[in-house]
Structure 1
């Protein structure tokens, strides 16, 4: 029997617990301003929520996780009940219209109002299963038209089938990806939630793929345990949600997906209503974050060059706001010592994340937050 965290079973670390109930989750779209919360909490409460990976249940994989994972040697007893139930349900999911992601929530925070800032602190991420999937499909990813490779004799103009590889977690705690000839690649795991966000102020359907000022599908691999993501609240209650769980991802996420696999996440949701934090969030173009050792700024735009410019501008704004560093000095510092990485190039809106080490700034007289 594989080690699984089935819904309603196993450790729950938070004050509240939210399952990925197939009747309540959002599949392919994000909660919007009209969404009804499935849970309401106070600022500072901790919430444990289960997340489902979309990989293994999509139509191009047969929408049959038993058959899909069974072909990779994973028995039916090794499947998560909520995943099987969702795939077998009558929930409509058309990949031509919807995004792939399964999203748990939304969670309302009492007293949250537009302009406030919701801080999401990642306290713990537990693997719900010891396997997941890495996919390249439909000519997407960093090399559309080159991968997936067209099989020999494939009819001209016919859709190229997806390539979905099942990876596992080895007894050494490393990811294991079969090469196909008896060998396998091993790599370290670094779990995180690809989607964390708040509802945008719209009644329109919000596709799950492109990230934005609401957060959403940010796919920043540094937002794992210990990270704190700050999201500008756009609707009353904030309406927080999470999904798109990963066991690991390389910067760029070049195939289309990374090691997509289900997690049980425990998060602390804290509302910031002070004028200073509200003012900083209003001046930034995207959500911002920090880890124990770094400040993180994000740049989001369909044009990767413009995403880079956004990230640099937000870094300048943060350095001016938090550390009173003049723009020309801050730009020189960023060029000399900070790092800017490509988060992902596969979500339509591309992402850059800038990493500013806190150690570089520790000697400065920092204003109170």
Structure 2
């Protein structure tokens, strides 16, 4: 376990699970070779993990490669861990988007073979990445392609939960985890309530790009070199930025990011509205009834993801609407 002082930065070479999964052969050298990637362009740490005796029980464990925990000195239950995403650099010039075993938004309907219409257990799309242009391209058999911009962020980022139970990496919760909030990229900040001494921060599931909803099951999955600053805040110190939080809250230079989580999407939406009202009331000192009406007029509510068992909705609240924060 790595131990750092509050306020120190950490750089982590995170790994994507694509090319490592059992249904892809658990052999990234062979898997990426089939897509024209030379062995020297496959990450050494990914190949070493695949060849290791690390046990992966996909059902109870979840698919993600997780790095951590990081012990932050002085962090105690009741404190808040401030996570600043300082830099997110692609480690490879390619990535993969997948739909697996009917687990996406259209479970039971897709994925299918486009020619036969028959269900398939795994549908993966290899994408090339132009690191200079900061774009990714999907191509299919006809040679046609779609090019879209990169927007790197960590899909999974959390603190150790106060439980003896080993948690699956898929569902997010009060501890953060697999939130898949695409707006929490470079230059953003996330705040999480500390649950165990030292916080036990961890991260994984690096993404090069993701559409809100993440409907097929995964984003453009690919490995990132991620630099974060981890700072322990007392509840009073955190209050000025995010109020008295009881779960994950995000912040960018231009927006507050309120987050609602629940297995029921409607309830996730309701929780997000309540959380956005709380942030406005405690941070911007807006009366709750006014905040409710303001959010109807100007709040930007987005479905973060619908594929992680616990669904997510987040609200972008523009700071420029509040003169003291503009």
TM-score range, shorter chain: over 0.9
Say if 2:93 is the partner of 1:130.
yes
Say if 2:124 is the partner of 1:161.
no
TM-score between both structures, scaled by the size of structure 2: 0.95
Give 1:117's aligned residue: 80
Shift of 1:69: 0.7
Give 2:187's aligned residue: 226
Shift of 1:167: 0.8
Shift of 1:275: 2.4
Spell out, residue by residue over 1:239-285, the C-alpha distance to the aligned partner (whole angstroms, 9 max, x if none): 10111000000000000001000000111111101425369978545
Unaligned runs of 5+ in 1: 1-37
1:53–1:102 Cα contact (<8 Å) kept: yes
Instruction: Report the Cα distance in structure 2 between the residues aligned to 1:310 and 1:284, rounded to whole angstroms.
Output: 13
Give 2:256's aligned residue: 295
Give 1:250's aligned residue: 211
Shift of 1:93: 1.6
Shift of 1:152: 3.9
Say if 2:304 is the partner of 1:343.
yes
Unaligned runs of 5+ in 2: none
Instruction: Report the Cα distance in structure 2 between the residues aligned to 1:285 and 1:44, rounded to whole angstroms.
Output: 22
Shift of 1:164: 1.1
Instruction: Report the Cα distance in structure 2 between the residues aligned to 1:340 and 1:258, rounded to whole angstroms.
Output: 20
Q: Higher mean Cα deviation, 168-177 or 212-221?
A: 168-177
Q: Higher mean Cα deviation, 178-187 or 222-231?
A: 178-187
2:239–2:283 Cα contact (<8 Å) kept: no
Any residues of structure 2 matched to 1:1-369 within 5 Å, and which?
38-149=1-112, 152=116, 160-170=120-130, 172-275=133-236, 277=238, 283-363=244-324
Instruction: Report the Cα distance in structure 1 between the residues aligned to 2:41 and 2:101, rounded to whole angstroms.
Output: 28
The 3-state SS of whatever aligns with 1:206 is coil
Spell out, residue by residue over 1:150-184, the C-alpha distance to the aligned partner (whole angstroms, 9 max, x if none): 57496xxxx83201111111253211111321111
1:136–1:256 Cα contact (<8 Å) kept: yes
Spell out, residue by residue over 1:21-65, the C-alpha distance to the aligned partner (whole angstroms, 9 max, x if none): xxxxxxxxxxxxxxxxx2111111011111000011000011111
Structure 1 stretches (4+) deviating beyond 6 angstroms? Answer: 278-282
Instruction: Report the Cα distance in structure 2 between the residues aligned to 1:263 and 1:65, rounded to whole angstroms.
Output: 16
Instruction: Report the Cα distance in structure 1 between the residues aligned to 2:96 and 2:235, rounded to whole angstroms.
Output: 42
Shift of 1:129: 0.6
- C-alpha RMSD over aligned residues: 1.9
Instruction: Report the Cα distance in structure 1 between the residues aligned to 2:67 and 2:239, rounded to whole angstroms.
Output: 26
- Structure 1 residues 313 and 118: CA distance shift in structure 2, 3 A: same
Shift of 1:360: 0.4
Shift of 1:145: 1.1
Instruction: Report the Cα distance in structure 1 between the residues aligned to 2:241 and 2:12, rounded to whole angstroms.
Output: 29
